[in-house]
Structure 1
Amino acid sequence: YAQSAPRKFKADLIYTWLPQSAAFGLWSGYPVVLEMHADTAGRFGAWWLRQFWMSRGHKRMLVTTQALRKALERSTRLQFPDEAVQAAPNGVDLDRYANLPAPAEARRQLNLKDGLTVGFSGHFYAGRGMDLLFELARALPDVNFLWAGGTPDAVEEWRAKLNAVRASNVTLTGFIENSRLPLYQSAADVLLMPYGRAISASSGQNIAEVINPMKMFEYMAAGRPMITADLPAIREVLDETRAVFCEPGDVSAWTSAVKKLLSDEKRRATLAANARRAIGKYTWLARAQRALENMS
């Protein structure tokens, strides 16, 4: 299919996330852009990526982080040519984040509790920091927490845990339609990325070393300050002028950081403004244009 489909649709180029399709594309004489979001997996993953690099043809590989490039070079035992590798972090659609209301107004529109609110959006998978979020809610009973996302089973599991310790300051929304997500994110005064040092992907891989979360760009676009786990891959996009960093899993450090940021409105505004200014180069359109430049 990787060979017949381009001919059928009279393609000028092949753009794929699969190393095997990328290799077949080169063998068929097409220019190929291969996008990688994680290290190779499976018995033949690294072998197929080696075939892509060892085959002739006009090629480019996109990596979401420089850390991922290093991981892929280790897996394939190759050193990739700089001119054929492009760092391409994930992005965001800025139109979805235009003209968002202030936190208090967003909470009013969503019928959420009034008062300072700390938010999290995303999956409740292992390594996403749910245990830390739970401990923060217990440590800060006077702060509202908004957990947006989670499967029905995961939501019920965490609701039961919160009820068991009588933590009534957490709102669990369950699944949120993507079109509504910016409004929920904007309802928070502070947003959290509480990743651990081991983060499970759907493939079962630990992606902590190479993670490039889309929520990071969404938070930046939402114009809200964030506190994030201090992971090297995240520092490829953020620095101390755009976010507060905390040691993964350190409940005391995170509790202190949340308290300090909630009590300092000026710093919240500065961090949010710096991150919002930086988001312009991380749009999906800009990413696509860079990915395809000079590939025809």
Structure 2
Amino acid sequence: FQVAVTVADNIRDDMIRRGMPPEKIIKLHSGFNQSFLVRQPEQASEWRKKLLLDNRQKLVVYSGGLYRFKGVNLLVDVAKELPQIQFVFAGGNESQVQSYQQLAKEKQANNVTFLGYIPHQQLPSLLQAADVLAHPHCSGEAASFTSPLKLFEYMASGTPIVATEIPPLMEFKSSSAIAGWCQPDNPAQLTRCLQQVLETYPRNVNGYAAQIEWGSQFSWENRMAKIMSNVAEYMHPIICD
């Protein structure tokens, strides 16, 4: 083979341990669709009209699977502590949505909405509608193997991001793409971080340009270009005398 591509360093290390040549294994993050870079202000405005209930003015959105290890339970706990803010979860199947709706009811978190599965073409406008996007992943084994694809979609939206400090995200710690960092599994710190980011970063209908620019490197198109640059030397024609 010419080149093997993986999305995580630990997977690359495992491939090397299994005998694959290190020089032929490259790590490249998964990429997002370019549609996430297209501004959709009208659709975003419609989302806000639909989702901001009971005169709430601030919207926190989570997009992804509805699992405890993803930090969904944690974010429901945080929502209860911030009743003046609307929390919206996009993703999950019907049974998961029903289960989490019941959990929110039991915790009396009345400012939480579970949308379930959202068609991919509607996600960019939903992410742009938010005041803050939450990436509350918990610690543990799953945190070492997760791909930050959702984080890249978040970046493309230009909406300020709050993320937990899990290993796969640490390479972005020094970038300007994440507005706030907090420890995983710490609802009090996540609550404070969300409040601080909401106060520091007013909603920008055009998105924050520095975040969009930095995140654009993780598009599928740029990913393919990087892959092709790695295999280019193998594609040169052989010239025989």
2:119 aligned with 1:183: no
1:208-237: per-residue Cα shift (whole Å, max 9, x none)? 213222111100001111111101211234
2:109 aligned with 1:167: yes
Q: Find the counterpart in structure 2 of residue 228 from structure 1.
A: 163
The 3-state SS of whatever aligns with 1:241 is coil
Evaluate the alpha carbon distance shift between residue 292 and residue 104 of structure 1 in structure 2; reply closer, same or farther with a 3 A threshold. closer
Match of 2:150 among 179, 203, 215: 215
Evaluate the alpha carbon distance shift between residue 67 and residue 268 of structure 1 in structure 2; reply closer, same or farther with a 3 A threshold. farther
The percentage of aligned residue pairs carrying the same residue is 25
Asked which structure has the greater RCO (Cα within 8 Å, sep 6+), the reply is: 2
The CA distance in 1 between the partners of 2:148 and 2:175, in whole Å, is: 18
Q: CA deviation at 1:283?
A: 1.4
TM normalised by structure 1 equals 0.69
RMSD of aligned Cα (Å): 2.5
1:12-55: per-residue Cα shift (whole Å, max 9, x none)? xxxxxxxxxxxxxxxxxxxx3xxxxxxxxxxxxxxxxxxxxxxx
2:89 aligned with 1:153: no
The CA distance in 2 between the partners of 1:169 and 1:221, in whole Å, is: 26
Match of 2:213 among 268, 277, 282: 277
The CA distance in 2 between the partners of 1:71 and 1:241, in whole Å, is: 31
Amino acid at match of 1:112: L
The CA distance in 1 between the partners of 2:209 and 2:96, in whole Å, is: 34
Q: Are 1:148 and 1:173, in contact at CA under 8 Å, matched by a contact in 2?
A: yes
The CA distance in 2 between the partners of 1:131 and 1:108, in whole Å, is: 23
Specify every segment of 5 or more residues in structure 2 that has no aligned partner in the other structure, as ranges: 236-241
Which structure has greater helix proportion? 2
The CA distance in 2 between the partners of 1:178 and 1:145, in whole Å, is: 20
Q: CA deviation at 1:267?
A: 10
2:195 aligned with 1:259: yes
Query: Which protein is bigger by CA-based radius of gyration?
Result: 1
Q: Find the counterpart in structure 1 of residue 3 from structure 2.
A: 60
The 3-state SS of whatever aligns with 2:145 is coil
Q: Are 1:261 and 1:268, in contact at CA under 8 Å, matched by a contact in 2?
A: no
2:30 aligned with 1:90: yes
Q: Find the counterpart in structure 2 of residue 125 from structure 1.
A: 67
Q: Are 2:36 and 2:157, in contact at CA under 8 Å, matched by a contact in 1?
A: no
Q: CA deviation at 1:102?
A: 7.9
Specify every segment of 5 or more residues in structure 1 that has no aligned partner in the other structure, as ranges: 1-31, 33-58, 199-205
Q: CA deviation at 1:240?
A: 5.0
Aligned counterparts, 1:127-142, within 5 A: 127-142=69-84
Q: Find the counterpart in structure 2 of residue 112 from structure 1.
A: 51
Q: CA deviation at 1:268?
A: 8.4
The CA distance in 1 between the partners of 2:91 and 2:75, in whole Å, is: 13
2:137 aligned with 1:195: yes
Q: CA deviation at 1:165?
A: 2.8
- Alignment length, in residue pairs? 227
The 3-state SS of whatever aligns with 2:31 is coil
Evaluate the alpha carbon distance shift between residue 108 and residue 254 of structure 1 in structure 2; reply closer, same or farther with a 3 A threshold. closer
Q: Find the counterpart in structure 1 of residue 239 from structure 2.
A: none
Amino acid at match of 2:166: L
The CA distance in 1 between the partners of 2:102 and 2:211, in whole Å, is: 36
Amino acid at match of 2:220: W
Q: Find the counterpart in structure 2 of residue 42 from structure 1.
A: none
2:225 aligned with 1:289: yes
